């Protein structure tokens, strides 16, 4: 949350997760702080700063959940 967002995306999971990726609709990964592969902290929380991303629609992929979430930035 929130969706749509303007500056940060907050992810709250019930366990730590790695391999989280944010993609543009054209399939190119978004680079956040020099990384395209993100991880939560040990509690399952992650804040993605989107202030420097181009406006548009993005897909968020969280491994083991199996679905893409569509976000508007």
Is 20 a residue whose pLDDT tops 90? yes
Is 5 a residue whose pLDDT tops 90? no
Query: In sequence order, what E strands does 1-73 have?
Result: 8-12, 18-24, 38-39, 45-49, 57-61, 68-72
**Residue 1 pLDDT:** 59
């Amino acid at each position: 949350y929130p969706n749509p967002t303007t500056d940060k995306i907050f992810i709250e999971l019930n366990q730590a997760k790695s391999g989280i990726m944010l993609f543009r609709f054209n399939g190119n990964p978004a680079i956040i702080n020099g990384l395209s592969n993100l991880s939560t902290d040990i509690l399952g929380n992650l804040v993605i700063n989107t202030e420097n991303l181009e406006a548009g629609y993005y897909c968020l992929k969280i491994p083991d959940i199996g679905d893409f979430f569509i976000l508007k930035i």
